[in-house]
Chain A
Amino acid sequence: MNDLYYNWRKAKSSFISAACFVCAVIVITPLALVLFHLVRLGASSLDWNFLTQLPKSVGESGGGMANAIVGSLVLVGLAAGIGVPIGVLGGVYLAEFGSGKTNFVVRFAADILNGTPSIVWGIVVYALVVIPMKGASAYAGGLALGFMMIPLVIRTTEEMLALVPNGYREAALALGIPQWKMVVHIVLKTAGKGILTGVLLAASRVAGETAPLLFTTPGNHFWSHNLSEPISSLPVQIYVCAIGPYDDWHRQAWAGALVLLCIALAVNVGARLTTGRNSPHLAR
């Protein structure tokens, strides 16, 4: 009787272990399926023209998304121009100067910003920039993405600076170096790699954002030479092509998605490899 009960308990334990394994497989399956379909459907329409030509007008086949690829890079560059200085210096304040109460408030605010849905950023920047400037622009799009980067960068910076041993700071100060030079040349330099990883991960995340760009920089069909005009971007272009009625557009969308995912994953994996460090907190 006792044996029977023991066996039943063991069987139950093995069964649940197996079920957990199956669940883990199910969780990874969508990744495999998305990658599989992207490569299958995207690779067939991805060619040199796609990477170098402008979109063709409706009805014509062929053409590419060269302007959108460049546009996305420009937007991420603008975003980094806003998000990195504010994020890194804000992180320096939290790690080096801030007191308990201020830090708590700033961290809390950063968490709120991080939880703000991306579509909300879209309409906030619309109200903040697009209405006063009387028109969508690359600046507005870059600003929206930059705002999204700030909370990510500020928290990674703080965390990386906290890993720098206090002895380094004390040694520097003991040599008579002013505090700001100590922070810039010793502390930030020591933590540089980790901060760079965080910045790259944040950039790869905002590079894939569509919602904040829909109203701030809806895109166009040409090369953009002026940042105060709307610029096209890969995610928006994919969205427009995906919900459009033409088969040719759908093929373009798959090819664009493949390019976007390659860029995002390359940056993401590259960033992790440079430090060999996983950052679960940057998971979305």
Chain B
Amino acid sequence: MKSATAATRSGSTVVLSPPSKAADGAFRILTWLMAMMVLVLVVIVGWKLFEGSKLSLQKFGWHFFVSSDWDPVSGNFGAVPFIFGTFVSSALGLFIALPLSLATAIYLTELAPPWVRQPAISLIELLAAIPSVILGLWGIFVMVPWLRDYPFAMLQKCFGFTPLFQGPIYGVSILSAAVIIAIMILPIITSISREVFRAVPESQREAALALGATQWEVTRLAVLRHSTRGIFGAAMLGLGRALGETMAVTMVIGNRPEISKSLLAPGYTLASAIANEFAEATSSIHISALFELGLALLAVTFVTNILAHVLIGAVGVPKHRT
């Protein structure tokens, strides 16, 4: 598809003018510019966040990431409570979502009758299409009151002796945030592990069956063994999503910048701190500190996403947009 050859033929009755090389070149450059816009945007995002957080970077330095004092009134800012809340809620969310997603993916690729597969896959994709703010609304008014009255009360009754489930139950808590995060990352982990499982050659399954393996043994020996990397990749991608999740988490986590041992206590995340405080921040150092939270959030999601792509790319699953 290099360049079109001119269709000029002297001697024949029809004489076509040669296709304009200039127009082709211009079109090519136009599309190149648009593709380069993507790179420019990446630079803009990084640069604007860095520029915005300069003040805070200069004033607090590394202290920002070891101090847990967040006090806009006195102008002291430390990010530890937010980093703690982000990681704990995301890790817990992943801990809930990963087994469920894997089992669902196994069901959908290995066990389900064909007429169940497509409808179930479509339903799970619809779950992914629910906007975050709507899940948050459902979280505040339906999920949190229910969690508070039944599962949380029960957890405290059974495991109240451990520090993890002590203290008053407000409903809004790190654990509520983890549940809503789990709901939000279920579809992506399911759909990617499904593709990872589908990439396992059918002959592997047939070989296991021929050796007399039961259905579960086929899945364990032929499918899961083969997909460890891909599963890690799917988990990483889910984690990247979980870390950056904003609206739904902000609505159910309680927004209190404290580090508590109890999972039933309110917390705060990087994203929800920005969502809540940015509009109300008045001092330039406060805004700058919030920009630095954004920079930290971008760095963390960047690393998890890269890790995910390396892991998923290695199993030969067709590249997906995530």
Residues of A within 8 A of B (CB): 9-10, 12-13, 16-17, 19-21, 23-24, 26-28, 30-31, 33-34, 37-38, 41, 85-87, 89-90, 92-94, 96-98, 102, 105-124, 126-128, 147, 150-152, 154-156, 166, 169-170, 173, 175-180, 182-183, 204-205, 207-211, 214-215, 218, 235, 238-239, 242-243, 250, 253-254, 257, 260-261, 264-265, 268-269, 272, 278, 280-284
Which of chain B's residues has its CB closest to A28's CB? B123
**B309 contacts A111, CB within 8 Å?**
yes
Per-position 1/0 for B39-57, Cβ under 8 A of A: 1011011001101100000
User: Is B251 within 8 A of A243, CB to CB?
Assistant: yes
Q: Which of B23-31, B64-72, B75-83, B155-163 contacts A (4 or more CB under 8 A)?
A: B23-31
Residues of A within 8 A of B244 (CB): 115-120
Known contacts A115-B301, A265-B126; is-contact A90 B37 (Cβ 8 Å): yes
Report the bound CA distance from A160 to B125 in whole Å.
20
Question: Smallest CB-CB separation from A261: which chain B residue?
Answer: B134
- How far is it, in angstroms, between the C-alpha of A115 and the C-alpha of B121 when the chains are bound? 23
Q: How far is the CA of A136 from the CA of B247 in the complex (A)?
A: 20
How far apart sit A269 and B123, CA to CA, in the bound complex (Å)? 11
Residues of B within 8 Å of A154, CB to CB, are 35, 38
A239 touches B31 (CB 8 A): no
| B214–A90 touching, CB < 8 Å | no
- In the complex, what distance in Å separates the CA atom of A79 from the CA atom of B5? 39
The chain B residue sitting closest to A89, CB to CB, is: B34
Q: Cβ of B106 < 8 Å from any Cβ of A? A: yes
Interface string of B250-269 (1 = CB under 8 A from A): 01000000000000000000
Interface residues of B in 269-289 (CB under 8 A from A): 271, 274-275, 278-279
Chain B contact residues, majority secondary structure? helix
Question: Which B positions have Cβ atoms within 8 angstroms of A?
Answer: 1, 3-7, 16, 19-20, 23-24, 26-28, 30-32, 34-39, 41-42, 44-45, 48-49, 51-52, 99-101, 103-104, 106-108, 111-112, 120-138, 140-142, 183-184, 186-188, 190-192, 194-195, 214-217, 219, 240-241, 243-247, 251, 271, 274-275, 278-279, 290-291, 294, 297-298, 301-302, 304-305, 309, 319-322
A31 touching B126, Cβ below 8 Å: yes
Q: B48 near A128 (CB under 8 angstroms)?
A: yes
- Nearest CB to that of B300 among chain A residues? A117
Q: Name the distance in Å between A3's Cβ and chain B's nearest Cβ.
A: 14
- Residues of A contacting B191 in the complex (Cβ-Cβ under 8 angstroms): 280, 283
Which of B104, B131, B298 is the one whose CB lies under 8 Å from A120?
Answer: B298
The answer to whether B217 touches A13 (Cβ under 8 A) is yes
CB-nearest residue of chain A to B107: A20
Contact sample, A vs B, 12 pairs, CB 8 Å cutoff: A19-B103, A86-B38, A119-B244, A120-B297, A123-B274, A123-B278, A123-B291, A166-B1, A176-B16, A179-B1, A242-B137, A260-B131
Interface centre among A94, A211, A272, by most B CB within 10 Å? A211
CB-based contact A257/B133 at 8 Å: yes
Q: Which residue of A lies closest to B120 (CB)?
A: A24
Contact of B128 among A170, A218, A238, A283 (CB under 8 A): A283
The interface residues of chain B lying within 8 Å CB-to-CB of A117 are 243-246, 271, 297-298, 301
Q: Which of B104, B132, B305 contacts A27 (CB 8 A)?
A: B104
Contacts of A116 on B, CB cut-off 8 Å?
A: 45, 244, 298, 301
Q: Are B134 and A169 neighbours in the complex by a CB distance under 8 Å?
A: no
Which B residues are in CB contact (< 8 Å) with A235? 131, 133, 247
**CB proximity of A130 to chain B, nearest CB, Å:** 11
Total CB contacts across the A-B interface at under 8 A: 318
Known: A123-B291, A239-B251. 9 other contacts (CB 8 A): A20-B107, A30-B183, A93-B28, A113-B41, A147-B41, A238-B137, A254-B141, A283-B187, A283-B188
Residue of B nearest to A173 (CB): B4
Inter-chain contact B28/A239, CB cutoff 8 Å? no
Query: Quick check: A239 and B133 within 8 Å, CB to CB?
Result: yes
Q: How far is the CB of A89 from chain B (nearest CB, A)?
A: 4
Instruction: Output the least CB separation between A42 and chain B (Å).
Output: 10
**Chain B neighbourhood of A121, CB < 8 A:** 45
| Cβ–Cβ contact B125 & A278, under 8 A | yes
Pairwise interchain contact A178-B134, C-beta atoms closer than 8 A: no
Residue with the greatest number of chain A CB neighbours at <10 A, chosen from B39, B188, B192 = B39
Q: A27-B124, A90-B31, A124-B45 are in contact. Are A238 and B214 (CB under 8 A)?
A: no
Q: How far is the CB of B95 from chain A (nearest CB, A)?
A: 14
Given A33-B142, A218-B279, decide whether A180 and B183 contact each other with a Cβ distance below 8 A.
Answer: no
Q: Is the CB of B34 within 8 A of A281?
A: no
**Once the chains bind, are A20 and B103 in contact (CB under 8 Å)?**
yes
Residues of B within 8 A of A182 (CB): 4
| Contact partners of A37 in chain B: CB under 8 A | 138, 141-142
- B243 near A239 with CB under 8 A, answer no
Q: A105-B39, A210-B133, A265-B129 are in contact. Are A92 and B31 (CB under 8 A)?
A: yes
A264 smallest CB distance to B (angstroms): 6
A13 & B45 in contact (Cβ 8 Å cutoff): no
Contact A27-B186, Cβ < 8 Å, known A37-B138, A180-B24, A238-B134? yes
Contact at A112–B305, with CB atoms within 8 Å?
yes
